[in-house]
Amino acid sequence: MFVIPIKPLSVNQVWQGRRFKTDDYKQYERDVSLFLRNVKTIRGQVKVFYKFYVSNMLADIDNCIKPLQDILVKNKVIEDDRFIIELCAMKFKVEKGMEKTEVTICGV
């Protein structure tokens, strides 16, 4: 399990039009990548468990998943998100400024 002490980013904040990543996403990707430097690759099929600690409970939980999964793949934490065979996501209300994400990945 590892903790990313950064506010989860919604997929709605990822793209400008259809092809270009937003500045918010580029910054989120850089910030999250720093926390993933020492996380070892888990190869093959995996189960992934997310706990999103958010200040806005109105946000759709599934919008937080895809941007983070793409970053996990890019940083070689998992080989490819197509190898995820089980996924569990939960969200919890926290005060603004206390947002974070806990990620647990288990090989199968």
pLDDT in tens, 43-98: 999 999 999 999 999 988 998 999 999 999 999 999 999 999 999 999 999 999 99
Q: Where residue 18 falls among pLDDT bands split at 50, 70, 90?
A: low
Smallest CA-to-CA distance from 75 within 44, 104, 38, 105 is with 38
What are the structural domains of the chain? Answer: 2-107 (3.30.1330.70)
Angle subtended by helix axes 62-74 and 23-35, to nearest 10 = 60
Residues 9-16 have a mean pLDDT of 71
- pLDDT surpasses 80 at 11: no
- Backbone angles phi and psi of 11, in degrees to 5: -60, -25
- Report field, pTM of the whole predicted structure over 0.85: no
- Asked whether the predicted pLDDT for residue 15 surpasses 90, the reply is no
CA-CA distance, 91 to 59, in Å (whole number)?
Answer: 10
Two tokens, residue 23:
């500045």
